[in-house]
Amino acid sequence: MAETPYAPLKSSFSRSYQTGDSILHELNRTLERALKEGRLLDVARGIKQTVEKLSQTPVNITVTGNSGNGMSSFINALRIIGHEEDDSAPSGVVRTTQTRAKYSSSHFPNVILWDLPGLGATAQTIDNYREEMEFSMYDLFIIIASEQFSSSHVNLAKVIQGMGKRFYIVWTKLDRDLRSHAHSETLLKQNIRENIQKELQKERVNVPPIFLVSNLDPLLYDFPMLRDTLHKDLSDIRCCGPLSTLSSTFEMIIDDRVASLRERIDEGYLEHSLSVRDDEAMRECLKAYRLKFGVDDESLEQVAQTVGTVAQEYRANMKSQTHDTLRRGDWRLRVMTCVLVNGFFRILRYLPGLRCCVPCFRRMKHKRVLLLVAQDTKTILKKILKDSISPPQT
């Protein structure tokens, strides 16, 4: 797939793509139904399908900074194309970008890279520049700097942070700095980073990711790390907002199931509502709830295979993995099942006025098992969501 630039645009550009929330709406009902029925495998498959759809959402990334800092050259380097190629961003020692232009790259599918005129080229103030360049339409900003990190860079960072947007600082001419300084590479890079951090902190700007690169060689210095970080943040931008909504929906569904089952336990309708009388009965109760919520061993194996990890990743933090881990992981249940407490309630069975406390106590233990399995289900769902956005390294 060839890299194709787009013609420069005027400032009257508006978004025209579908948001993640509308994409999720197509799958929400299916996922909710699967979760209510304890079909965790179908939930995992649905999440994976959702992430695949969200990955097609366009993301707008803009490159900005002072004129002459090498913004167009950086875009070419990020796209891994030469300045002489027909579809490259125009660059040179004089100001070459007069109006904003957008570019695509096969290395970053569904990403629009915007090359903005340098600050001061079209407006005199940062507020005018923000309005003219329509900062609100961008998802991520890359502030380019070289030679010095000036007050203009700090003001840009301050404005972007105030908008709640993500941004990076990229120092673009490290190769030239290394040739003109006697310091070692390690010391020079440390000095540049510390200076950027100090200038940002003076204005109470949170320090973003900082990358020191050479536009002439996109394989050296921090360029590979920049690309890795950008790929991860693209997934985050596309998925985290919509999937956070989905995570909240999942929690509400589980809470509703727990409330409904607690009522049935209190009313004595469930098969095991009064049967948690000993360890063996509790094991059966635990097994029944793990099946009901879809966190039994077989289901977890299938989910792990779908997501691309191992089932032990899900079992590792489960209190309800076994009867023993259940008791060890929860002090309340440990107290309820200790020899002293069980002995006390055995005595109560023979006291006419107090024997009614025994079934009540069993229901308490039963509801505690239910709650712990539900909590584990929430934890597992969060991990499925996380692993679906950023697949585990194998």
Better pLDDT: 356 or 249: 249
Q: Domain ends where: 186, 221, 256? A: 221
Note whether 196 and 331 are same-domain residues: no
pTM value is: 0.71
Q: 385 and 276, same structural domain?
A: yes
Residues 212 and 85 in one domain: yes
Instruction: Dump pLDDT digits (tens) for 244-257.
Output: 778 888 899 999 99
> If you average pLDDT over residues 55-81, what whole number do you get?
85
Final residue belonging to a domain, choices 187, 221, 255 = 221
Residue recorded with tokens 């649905």 = 46
Q: Within a domain: residue 34?
A: no
Q: CATH code at 143?
A: 3.40.50.300
Residues 213, 246, single domain; the answer is no
Amino acid, res. 82: G
Residue 15: inside a domain, yes or no? no
Looking at the structure, tell me whether residues 215 and 249 fall in a common domain: no
Same domain, 144 and 277: no
Expressed as residue numbers, the domain containing 86 is: 58-221
Assess whether 69 and 210 both reside in one domain. yes
249 CB burial (10 A radius; 0-12, 13-18, 19+): middle
Number of domains in the chain: 2
Q: Looking at residues 4-19, what average pLDDT do you find?
A: 36
Q: State residue 244 phi and psi, 5-degree precision.
A: -65, -40
The residues, any chain, with a CB within 8 Å of residue 81's CB and separated by 6 or more, are 3, 87, 88
User: Is pLDDT larger for residue 10 or for residue 108?
Assistant: 108
Residues 71 and 102 in one domain: yes
For residues 328 and 217, membership in a common domain is answered with no
